[in-house]
Amino acid sequence: MTRPSGAHLSPDEIESWLAGTLAQDCQRHLDQCQACFDRAHAEREIVEQISVLPLMSPAPDFAERVMASVVVPDP
């Protein structure tokens, strides 16, 4: 697929770049477009910051507490 002239990378293409699967024509655009380069590297920084956060799980009784507050209408 040929990139339209002047088209910036889409969020999906940035995600492909992060995964190391970006198409060659998109990579050429990224290499030449400062705006896309900056956006891609900002996205990578966000992903790196998120990856070091501790994993969290809901409390064991979370589902029961939520369901206790749900009102199901009687038809």
Q: Residue 9, exposed/middle/buried by CB under 10 A (0-12, 13-18, 19+)? A: buried
Tokens of 34: 């400062």
Per-residue pLDDT at 51: 94
| pLDDT for the residue numbered 72 | 87
pLDDT per residue rounded down to tens, the chain (75 residues): 555 666 999 999 999 999 999 999 999 999 999 999 999 999 999 999 999 999 999 999 999 999 999 998 888
Distance (Å) of CA 18 to CA 1, 22, 39, 61: 20, 8, 12, 37
Burial 12-32 (b: 16+ CB within 10 A, else e): ebbebbeeeebeeebeebbee
Q: What is the pLDDT of residue 67?
A: 93
To the question of pTM greater than 0.75 for the whole model, the response is no
Mean of the per-residue pLDDT values of the chain: 92
- How distant is the alpha carbon of residue 64 from its chain centre? 31
